[in-house]
Amino acid sequence: MRPQRMPDEACVRRDLSARADSFLAVWGAPILAGLIASFAAPSITWAAGAWSVALAWMGAACLLNARRCGRLHCFFSGPILLVGALLAALVALGQLDANAIGLGAIVTGALVLFGLTYALELALGRYLRRDA
């Protein structure tokens, strides 16, 4: 087993999830917007649409972050969040029959899996090694 190298400063600086301000702006704000929409939306369609946009934003940000700095969990959480966004969009478009509980299960599932991807970093390290 090779020793894990420490990430260089440039990589840490590019990591959107390493600083509280960018983490809250990129991932916290969409969750807050989705929660507000869940309680204030006039219908399940509106709530599902809001969650679709929020999850898509978060998933795209994860994939961008994975590309920018090699953050390990982002390689997994990006696709997870995008699948959640797709399912929520299908609810919003009436293509997937779900009530508020079904939409809640979709969103909760995506967010729980997103959170669990951090466990990968405990086992394998925070950044994907890029040996040159």
- In DSSP notation, 62-114 reads HHHHHHHH-BHHHHHHHHHHHHHHHHHHHHHTTSS---HHHHHHHHHHHHHHH
Q: Does residue 49 carry a pLDDT above 80?
A: yes
Mean pLDDT in residue range 102-125: 93
Give domain status of residue 54, yes or no: yes
List the end-to-end C-alpha distance of the chain, in Å, as a whole number.
18
CA 28, 23, 127 angle in degrees (round to 5)?
A: 135
Is the overall model pTM greater than 0.85, yes or no? yes
Whether 78 maps to a domain, the answer reads yes
Question: Domain range spanning residue 111?
Answer: 18-124
CB atoms within 10 A of CB 28: 14
- At 1 the pLDDT is 43
Report the number of distinct structural domains present in the chain: 1
Q: With DSSP H G I counted as helix, E B as strand and the rest as coil, what are the percentages for the chain, rounded to 5?
A: 75, 0, 25
Q: What's the pLDDT tens digit per position in 75-94?
A: 999 999 999 999 999 999 99
* 45 vs 5, residue with greater confidence: 45
In a domain, 79, yes or no: yes
| Contact assessment for residue 98 and residue 44, using Cβ atoms and an 8 Å cutoff | yes
Q: What is the mean pLDDT of the chain?
A: 88
